[in-house]
Amino acid sequence: MTKRCKSRRFTFIAAALGATLVASGLSLAFASDNGRYGIDYGDPTAFIVEEGNVDPGTYQGYLVFTRHCMACHGPDGLGSSFAPSLVKAAERRSFAEFAQTIAGGRDVLPGQVMPSFADDSTVLSNIPNIYRYMTARASGELGRGRPRVIEAMQEEAPENDQ
């Protein structure tokens, strides 16, 4: 693949990611927590952990991570012998850097490649939620294992395990 072709592909991926993130941010911004928690769903770093239970966005991030990321990045995002810890990545990287890596992929080392998820609409639309889940894990507020949704926020929770 030529540099020009790679540049066009990156531009397309970046544009698609931007459109997807704006759409998901807008839909999340309209989600309601009835003012009780005051969470800003447009902010990908906003999460709520209450006695080990989480807000619906963070829970959705857990579900998508488990289905699409855990095989390489290990249980709870702590990394594996061939993929880094996403918990540490959430500490070190901005949301934009985190999102760019998921959407565009990354050459880590010769022979080790993080694949692009640009063609996976479920992953792309949930990048903010995955980041929320990893940020909650990195903060130490959310422990290992499957979280539950805060009872008062149950109506907003996803109904299926995407």
Please determine, for residue 21, whether its predicted confidence score (pLDDT) is greater than 70: no
pLDDT band at 26 (very low <50, low <70, confident <90, very high): very low
**CA separation for the pair 92, 96 (Å, rounded):** 12
pLDDT confidence of residue 38: 52
**CA separation for the pair 125, 46 (Å, rounded):** 16
pTM metric for this prediction: 0.72
**CA separation for the pair 162, 147 (Å, rounded):** 15
Higher per-residue confidence, 130 vs 46: 130
Higher per-residue confidence, 129 vs 161: 129
> What are 32-78's pLDDT values in tens digits?
444 444 555 567 778 899 998 999 999 999 999 999 998 889 898 88
**CA separation for the pair 117, 119 (Å, rounded):** 5
Annotate 44-77 with three-state secondary structure: CCCCCEECCEECHHHHHHHHHHHHHCHHHHCHHH
Decide if 109 contacts 97 (C-beta within 8 A). Answer: no
What domains are there in the chain, each with its CATH number? 3-156 (1.10.760.10)
Higher per-residue confidence, 21 vs 156: 156
